[in-house]
Amino acid sequence: MSLVEGNSVRSTSRMTGVAKGTILTLLADLGAACAKYHNEHVRGVTTQRIQADEVWSFCGAKMKNASEDKVAQGWGDMWTWVALDADSKLIISYLVGQRGAYWADRFLKDVASRVLNRVQLTTDGHHVYVDAVERAFGAEVDYAMLIKLYGNPAAPETRYSPGECIGTELKVIQGAPDERYISTSYVERSNLSLRMGNRRFTRLTNAFSKKRENHAHMIAIFYAYYNFCRRHATLRVTPAMEARLSDHVWSVEELARLAEPKSILDGLTQVA
């Protein structure tokens, strides 16, 4: 529970008395189990609207500060691709990688494999989406981009934030999307939840990920918790319940049981 509510590994260790190494072992085991469960069970989704976005973070150091040797070891910028069902708020798919066309293809093909019906898809203006959407969905999608227009930062103090949004542009790419629902607001709000609930995304700290695999494991745990354990404030149930993928709110202990063997569950109970 501590790790998905914005605490770092070290602070979790201090609060629980569990060794840092033990927590990292539990992180890896449960992360792999959560990713496996998501891959097998978040399928057959029926939805009308999907919103997709990418979230930036880094591992070890920002790309501009990482040496070639460190980049080869997995350091540098990391991007989390996210697809959200705008109706149930379910995280349908996520992928940790880079921001190029190869990763867009992998991500969108995974999204397409998890939905049963034709959907309306909205993304931001990242150019790699256009061809990737066509390769993943073919003609069976109504697709539009919401392109945000930014001004220059007003002062040097804002250099860690994008410039002020001064407008948006709607661009229909394929099919006949309903302009009323061309939006990325819900997925951007879920990105805020990811940053608030995951210490690795907090900027200007030393809590950033040091190992790419652990970064991916933590994201898998967070999204499993988000989908199955955490009640959505407006839905009053979990996204998985709203999407009819679960019939109850999962406890943290139930989430922990995804990991085996039993000794792993015992350790996670201590951490929670």
Least confident of 38-42, 110-114, 258-262, 267-271: 267-271
The structure's pTM equals 0.89
What pLDDT, on the 0 to 100 scale, is given for residue 127?
95
Q: What are phi and psi of 267, to 5 degrees?
A: -65, -40
Q: Using alpha carbons, select from 222, 219, 120, 230 the residue that is nearest to residue 178.
A: 120
DSSP 76: E
Work out the mean pLDDT of the chain and round it to a whole number.
Answer: 90
Give me the mean pLDDT over the 57-64 stretch: 92
β-bridge pairing 119-123 and 141-150: parallel
Q: Using alpha carbons, select from 16, 15, 44 the residue that is nearest to residue 112.
A: 44
C-beta separation of 82 from 191 below 8 A: yes
Q: Residue 141 sits in a domain of what CATH number? A: 3.30.420
What pLDDT, on the 0 to 100 scale, is given for residue 261?
57
Q: Which domain holds residue 131?
A: 3-271
CA distances (Å), 228 to each of 160, 217, 243, 249, in order?
A: 33, 17, 11, 6
State what percent of residues in the chain have pLDDT above 90: 75
What pLDDT, on the 0 to 100 scale, is given for residue 191?
96
Read off the pLDDT of residues 194-250 as tens digits, 9 standing for 90 and up: 999 999 998 888 888 999 999 999 999 999 999 999 999 899 999 999 999 999 999
Q: Is the pLDDT of residue 268 over 80?
A: no
What pLDDT, on the 0 to 100 scale, is given for residue 94?
97
Read off the pLDDT of residues 113-159 as tens digits, 9 standing for 90 and up: 999 999 999 999 999 999 999 999 999 999 999 988 877 765 555 55
d(C-alpha 104, C-alpha 98), whole Å: 9
Q: Provide the number of structural domains found in the chain.
A: 1
Q: Is the pLDDT of residue 176 over 70?
A: yes
d(C-alpha 160, C-alpha 241), whole Å: 37
What pLDDT, on the 0 to 100 scale, is given for residue 1?
77
